Amino acid sequence: MPPDVQRLVDPYELSPFITEVCKYAAVSKEEWEEQSKIWPTSFHPPTYNIDGIGGFSEEETQSICKFMRVVIDMAVSGHKPLVNAAVIVDPSVRRIIASETDQVYASSAPRDMTSAETRPFEETGEICLNDTLEKQNGSLSTVSCLNPWQWSLQPHDTENCSQWHPLRHASMVAIESSSARDRNLFPNPSKIFDQDHVPPSNTDSPAKKQKTSSQSPDVQSDSREETLRDPSLERPYLCTGYDIFLLLEPCTMCAMALVHQRIKRIFYAFPNTTAGGLGSVHRLQGEKSLNHHYAVFRVLLPDDALRQMTTV
């Protein structure tokens, strides 16, 4: 035994022994309690719910396709050229929390998409964004996440300077809208609901019901919204447990913002080969040093979605 260790053992009359300890960190509280009997350690539970990231039921698939349809409608409706679109959804009640498009340029004005009709996809198939743009004579130059620095090359309209901002990518604006919704529906800031800090529960649990809301804080005369205005209820913690749907893979800035917001799952249709933060260029969800990790899915769009994008 090393002399330094011996000097600690003798005064306390310790009885050292050799045993085996776990090589890997505990993945559950039960494992951690068992490990700590021999070698006390700290336990860090997963920062996201792993349920639903390995496969989807038919109902879940239809829901995913429905919200992706909303994203497509937002990206192509009233926008020339194409812009990115983001829809934040509470999956526990399948309700839209916020929906926004790029607002970097003055021409990308905010639009209310909360009442957009949606319908499930009937078939599957991959489409190519470049081919889509060729057919509609479009351009990707103004899609914020594809060209994060493109705004600096554009002439600035001083009369409309309040309508553009280099950071107002679709994801960032949607996060801002979600925050505004929470402030409107949950006026008591001292009570914040963090889904990660409660045990798993079904959709009928009080914790889940506290997060239920209408699609937008602008929607009025909703009895459920009036219930949520009760100051005794708890405000959701950021976007914990929410999904976000995007037309294009977010850039690194937006991907990191979604980490901070504790988004649960990200769904996007087209890769971002110039500045993508979720696999095309960087892979933020695989960065072990981060304290939160979301699941990422690419949604392959069907031919009818291609026709919609090329005929607008």
Could you give the CA distance from residue 11 to residue 1 in angstroms, rounded to a whole number?
Answer: 15
Domain boundary assignment for the chain: 3-35, 58-311
- pLDDT in the model for residue 143: 80
- pLDDT in the model for residue 290: 92
Question: What φ, ψ does residue 296 adopt, rounded to 5°?
Answer: -125, 135
3 state SS of 89: strand
- Taking residue 61's Cβ as centre, other Cβ atoms within 10 Å add up to 15
- pLDDT in the model for residue 220: 36
- pLDDT in the model for residue 230: 53
Sign for the CA dihedral angle at 202, 70, 246, 223 comes to negative
To which residue do tokens 């219930």 refer?
A: 227
Give, for all 312 residues of the chain, the pLDDT tens digit. 888 888 889 999 888 888 888 888 887 778 888 888 888 888 776 655 455 555 688 888 889 999 999 998 888 876 567 789 999 999 989 999 999 998 887 554 444 433 333 333 333 333 455 555 444 444 666 688 887 776 666 665 555 555 567 888 999 999 999 999 998 888 766 555 554 444 443 444 434 434 433 343 333 334 445 545 555 567 888 999 999 999 999 999 999 999 999 999 999 999 998 889 999 999 999 998 998 999 999 998 776 665 655 554
Which CATH superfamily groups domain 58-311?
A: Cytidine Deaminase, domain 2 (3.40.140.10)
Q: What is the pTM of this model?
A: 0.62
- pLDDT in the model for residue 308: 58
Structural tokens at position 294? 């979301």
User: What are the beta bridge partners of residue 266?
Assistant: 244, 296
